């Protein structure tokens, strides 16, 4: 299997085929761009799959040395974790990858181990969506292995107080997301809506929440994938830059 070039050639990642798991898409790139760890932080990606977001962050960290940050990824599928490790080695990047079930979050790390968590959680719940025939895609898209609440519960346990949780979520599920963040005392602090183009409804939202944070939400200017001319916007192109 050949590795694909990503981030304008900054990374080369081997990916699963479309039947066995999700490949890098725009949401992947936008989440990695939205997640901005500070030097010295410990960062975890939940549901890391073959390591795309974690390794984009690890590449950014490497370019910031000696002021980088630590990166760990966790996924329930051992085969994808092995692929993530191979991708890290392929790119000469330092990142740890763990095979574990996020529902058993106490086995991942001690409480309050991470300063920041990034996650692209399942966009649907298993009981309310048509399941993909692919087990890999069903786990990633339809919550067959964990629910959105499972992810938020685990993040609350693993994040330090005032640690940050960065998510990308389908826009029409933002209400459910915010309700869960409130339940687990991790209120949203920043939100950016992503639109296919001007004049169309948001397709996804990027959200940063804070464990044990105060109330108060900043809504950033919208991000448009394409402009009125149908071309990719400068904001989207910027997301494909490592730094």
How many Å apart are CA 108 and CA 52, to the nearest integer? 20
pLDDT tens for residues 139-184?
444 456 899 999 999 999 999 999 999 999 999 999 999 999 999 9
Please report the domains of the chain, with CATH numbers, ordered by start residue: 4-185 (3.40.50.150)
Q: Per-residue pLDDT tens for 66-119?
A: 889 999 999 999 999 999 999 999 999 999 999 999 999 999 999 999 999 999
Q: What is the pTM of this model?
A: 0.91
Measured from the Cβ of residue 21, the count of other Cβ atoms closer than 10 Å reads: 21
Binning pLDDT at 50, 70 and 90, where does residue 21 land?
confident
Contact 27, 54 (CB under 8 A): no
Question: CB of 37 within 8 A of CB of 243?
Answer: no
**Alpha carbon distance 134, 205 (integer Å):** 26
Q: How far apart are CA 170 and CA 206, in angstroms?
A: 9
Angle at 25 between CA 22 and CA 28, to 5 degrees: 90
CA distance 157 to 63: 30
Closest by alpha carbon to 170, among 214, 229, 213, 128? Answer: 128
């Amino acid at each position: 299997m050949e590795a694909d070039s990503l981030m304008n050639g900054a990374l080369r990642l081997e990916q699963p085929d479309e039947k066995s798991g999700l490949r890098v898409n725009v949401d992947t790139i936008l989440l990695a761009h939205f997640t901005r760890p500070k030097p010295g932080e410990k960062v975890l990606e939940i549901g890391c799959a073959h390591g795309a977001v974690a390794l984009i962050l690890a590449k950014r960290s490497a370019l910031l040395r000696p002021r980088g940050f630590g990166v760990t990824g966790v996924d329930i599928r051992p085969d994808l974790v092995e692929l993530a490790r191979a991708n890290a080695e392929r790119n000469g990047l330092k990142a740890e990858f763990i095979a574990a079930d996020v529902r058993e979050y106490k086995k991942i790390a001690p409480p309050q181990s991470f300063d920041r968590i990034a996650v692209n959680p399942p966009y649907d719940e298993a009981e309310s969506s048509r399941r993909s025939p692919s087990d890999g895609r069903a786990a990633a898209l339809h919550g067959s292995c964990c629910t959105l609440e499972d992810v938020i519960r685990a993040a609350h346990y693993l994040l330090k107080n005032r640690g940050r949780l960065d998510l990308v979520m389908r826009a029409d599920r933002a209400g459910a997301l915010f309700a869960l963040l409130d339940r687990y005392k991790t209120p949203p602090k920043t939100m950016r809506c992503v639109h296919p183009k001007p004049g169309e409804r948001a397709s996804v939202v990027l959200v940063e929440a804070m464990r044990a944070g105060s109330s108060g939400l900043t809504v950033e200017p919208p991000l448009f994938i394409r402009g009125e001319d149908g071309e990719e916007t400068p904001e989207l192109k910027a997301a494909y830059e490592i730094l």
